Amino acid sequence: MGCAVVIEVMRRLVAEGHPNILIVAATTQEETGVRGAHTAADVVHPDIGIAIEGGVAGDVPGAHPEETQARLGAGPGIFLYDFSEQPNRRLVSLIKETGKTEKIPNAV
C-alpha cells in the first residue's frame, strides 16, 4: 500500500509541479537493526523524511486494540514517536491542518 501511495504522489507532483527536490526510496527491514529508510537517509541527508507504511487496525478480527489507536476506515494515522525519531512539529501541524481542510478523517 505504501508503494502505491508513493507512486500516486509522484504522478501528481509531475503533473502539478513543485519547487522542491523529491527523492524517493522503497526500503525494507526498518524494524531490524534500523536499516531501510535510515540507510537511504544516511546517504541523501534530507531536510524532511516521510515514511509511508501500512499499520495495524485495532478493530479487526484477531487484532489487539491496546496496541494501536488506528481503526479500519477511520483515515490515516500519524506515528509521532518511535525508539529513534522525533516528529517535526511544523510538519505534523501542516499534516493535521491539511487533513481538516480536505475533510480527511484522522485515526489518531
Do residues 92 and 108 share a domain? yes
Q: Give the number of domains in the chain.
A: 2
pLDDT for 66-95, tens place per residue? 888 888 888 777 777 666 667 788 888 888
pLDDT in tens, 1-23: 788 988 999 999 999 988 888 88
What is the average per-residue pLDDT within 20-35?
77
Assess whether 30 carries a catalytic annotation: yes
Q: Mark whether 108 and 79 lie in a shared domain.
A: yes
Residues 74 and 42 both lie in one domain? no
Task: Please determine, for residue 31, whether its predicted confidence score (pLDDT) is greater than 70.
Answer: no
CA trace torsion 32, 81, 41, 13 (10° rounding) = 120
Report residue 93: phi and psi, to 5°. -60, -45
pLDDT score of 106 more than 70: no
Integer Cα distance of 23 and 78 in angstroms: 21
Residue 86: domain span: 55-108
Per-residue model confidence (pLDDT) at position 107? 46
* Selected catalytic residue, list 8, 30, 66, 97: 30
Query: What are the grid coordinates assigned to 71, written together?
Result: 481503526
Quote the pLDDT of residue 68.
82
Torsion of CA 92, 93, 95, 99, to 10 degrees: 140
